[in-house]
């Protein structure tokens, strides 16, 4: 796995190099301190991951990542920054992770382990393309201004709450800065069903289908006490889907 570092602070750059070399098998191909130099480099070289500071000269990290996200061969983007306020932008770009300075070694190690695991899995699934397709086995969720790369199988359901969407796994809840329609569009249809205008459910997590009033249903989920409703407009489609 090949990667580059884009960081204009020398000490931070050296610290990150050390952590990557000490805790991963990632091959560092180079270090840069200017956004335009990175674009020039990527015109002739292909890498699998970019550790990208946001505040860099010539072309800031967010704009650089937006350009890179359009490449046919899209490397994983790991933002590294001292500022929390760019997390939402990082999510929109579908960055792999968002690391805050000063670095915490345990946090870096966890990120590197996930990165290499995803790289191996995505290579097996898609040949030389390192970045999974839009509907893949993982999705980026936001919590406490951090991006959490989450296996879609860990999501139980999503619920609309005004202009945001609450996403629930077995142990955690995440608040996504988008409406439920947009969020559901990022999930694979074969696993998730929009059972109500305010709810989307992981079909594999349904433990019990309970008849409810007006010929609707309540869905009881494995491991969670919450019950997800099926609206009248979705009953026919749900019955066909579940073969009931």
Give the Cα separation of 128 and 236 in Å (integer): 41
138 phi, psi to nearest 5 deg: -140, 160
Q: Which CATH superfamily is domain 152-242 in?
A: LytTr DNA-binding domain (2.40.50.1020)
209 confidence band (pLDDT: 50, 70, 90)? very high
Kindly indicate whether the domain formed by 2-126 is annotated with CATH number 3.40.50.2300.
yes
Residue 46 has pLDDT above 80, yes or no: yes
User: Could you report the per-residue pLDDT of 97-108, keeping only the tens digit for each?
Assistant: 888 888 889 999
Sign of the CA dihedral with 141 first, then 146, 151, and 153 last: negative
- Residue 131, pLDDT score: 45
* 1, 118 contact by CB (below 8 A): no
Q: What does the buried/exposed string (b/e) look like for 197-226 if buried means 16 or more CB atoms within 10 Å of the residue's CB?
A: eebbbbeebbeeeeeeeeebbebbbeebee
User: Could you report the per-residue pLDDT of 212-225, keeping only the tens digit for each?
Assistant: 988 899 999 999 99
Domain residue spans of the chain: 2-126, 152-242
Q: Which residue has the higher pLDDT, 128 or 64?
A: 64
Compute the average pLDDT of residues 32-58.
91
């Amino acid at each position: 796995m090949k990667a580059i570092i884009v960081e204009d602070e020398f000490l931070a750059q050296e610290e990150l190099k050390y952590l990557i070399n000490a805790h991963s098998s990632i091959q560092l191909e180079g270090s840069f301190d200017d956004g335009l130099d990175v674009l020039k480099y990527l015109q002739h070289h292909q890498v699998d991951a970019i550790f990208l500071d946001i505040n860099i000269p010539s072309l800031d990290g967010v704009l650089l990542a937006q350009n890179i996200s359009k490449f046919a061969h899209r490397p994983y983007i790991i933002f590294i920054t001292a500022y929390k306020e760019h997390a939402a932008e990082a999510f929109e770009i579908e960055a792999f992770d968002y690391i805050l300075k000063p670095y915490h070694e345990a946090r870096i190690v966890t990120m590197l382990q996930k990165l290499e695991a995803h790289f191996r899995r995505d290579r097996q699934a898609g040949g030389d393309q390192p970045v999974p397709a839009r509907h893949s086995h993982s999705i980026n969720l936001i919590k406490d201004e951090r991006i959490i790369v989450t296996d879609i199988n860990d999501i139980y359901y999503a619920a609309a709450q005004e202009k945001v969407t609450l996403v629930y796994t077995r142990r955690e809840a995440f608040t996504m800065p988008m409406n439920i329609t947009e969020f559901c569009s990022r999930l694979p249809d074969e696993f998730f069903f929009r059972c109500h205008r305010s709810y989307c459910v992981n079909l594999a997590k349904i433990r019990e289908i309970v008849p409810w009033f007006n010929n609707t249903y309540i869905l009881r989920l494995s491991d969670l006490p919450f019950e997800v409703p099926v609206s009248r407009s979705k009953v026919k489609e749900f019955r066909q889907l579940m073969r009931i």
